[in-house]
Amino acid sequence: MKTQAIFFPFDLFGSGGTKAGAELLADAVREMLADNRRERKPTRARAYANKVGVEEFAFETLEDYTDWRQQARKTIRAVWQKKDFLLWATGNHLGVLPAYEELATQAASPTVIQFDAHLDVYNLSDCTQKLSHGNFLMHCEGPLPSIINVGHRELLLPHKHVTKYFTKTYSAADVASSPDKVVGELQAAAQVAHAIFFDLDCDAFDPAYFPSAAHPIPFGLSPHFVLRCLDALWSDRVLGLAISEFDPARDVRDQSLSTLVWLIEHLLLKINEK
């Protein structure tokens, strides 16, 4: 299986500044791959040396934004048609909507395991009804895939509204009080899922570990817990991972950047080391 690392620096309609996050991540991944290629001594990185394709979109002109959703869907569809692993790094969380839309078209409907501080179905008085990074799940073209949120800090949205869009949600409080129970239930859900897609909105992390989420919220997940979930739920039915809402202007000594790059390297080894 090859990995297609696609950098899609889209950040309209919320979290301006995260465009730079996807671009920085693209640079960092290219640099990591180049460093590995230069190394003459055997390393574990050889397992994925020739198995990672990198593609970066540019959003520089108005035309680049026309049809962004269809462009993204076409690219994602091509990756999954080849049965490659999709690493989809985008600016704001809305940039992951095309992946959800493509997932929803798949015959064996996949389960999305979503790490996010927010349940992106906001319909409150101060929220736009137009498509935004905070309500995009209400704008999916076609039915939504089954979505399980892990790590939300939501304190306003009524349960009835949430359950229209989410199969299940585990708040950060649930994770704090019963982490083993949450992982156990996620594993049970993953075992019966035909396919799994991980969606990491960086604001799922606690700001102490990840200072550069576009909208940091306290009481978040530790990177250790996210890692535990990814490892516990991993199988060859995992279709990909999306990363969004990384705003590097807020980063402290590259702490957030190195968290993401480490995670990407870890997953590349997971996919390719046999």
Q: Do residues 176 and 184 make contact, with C-beta atoms less than 8 angstroms apart?
A: no
Where does this chain touch Mn ion (CB under 5 A) — which range of 61-69, 103-111, 116-124, 152-160?
A: 116-124
Binding status of residue 247 toward Mn ion by CB under 5 A: no
> Is position 116 an interface residue for Mn ion (rule: CB under 5 A)?
yes
The packing angle between helices 223-233 and 179-192, to 10°, is: 30
Nearer to Mn ion, 80 or 210 (CB): 210
Q: What is d(CA 15, CA 203) in angstroms, rounded to the nearest whole number?
A: 11
Question: Do 88 and 60 form a contact (C-beta atoms < 8 A)?
Answer: no
DSSP assignment of 144-203, as one string? PPEEEEEEE---SS-HHHHTTT-SEEEEHHHHHH-HHHHHHHHHHHHHH-S-EEEEEEGG
Give whichever of 201 and 206 is closer to Mn ion, judged by the CB atom: 201
**Contact assessment for residue 135 and residue 165, using Cβ atoms and an 8 Å cutoff:** no
Smallest gap from Cβ 217 to Mn ion, in A, equals 8
- Which pair of tokens denotes residue 165? 């869009």
Residue from 24, 80, 87, 118 touching Mn ion (CB under 5 A): that is 118
> In whole angstroms, how close is the CB of 92 to Mn ion at the nearest point?
9
Residue type, 31: E
Residues 179-208 that bind Mn ion (CB under 5 A): 201, 203
Count of residues that bind Mn ion according to CB under 5 A: 5
What's the rounded Cα separation, in Å, for the pair 190 and 246? Answer: 27
Write down the least CB distance from residue 243 to Mn ion, Å. 12
Q: Minimum CB separation from Mn ion for residue 245, in Å?
A: 6
- Closest CB to Mn ion among residues 15, 111: 15
Q: Which is nearer to Mn ion, 132 or 272 (CB)?
A: 132
Residue number, 10 or 85, with CB nearest to Mn ion: 10
* Nearest approach, Cβ of residue 250 and Mn ion (Å): 14
Taking the least distance from each CB to Mn ion, the nearer of 199 and 201 is 201
CB of 35 to Mn ion, least distance (A): 31
Q: What distance in Å separates the CA atoms of residue 27 and residue 159, rounded to the nearest whole number?
A: 41
- Residues interacting with Mn ion, by CB under 5 A? 116-118, 201, 203
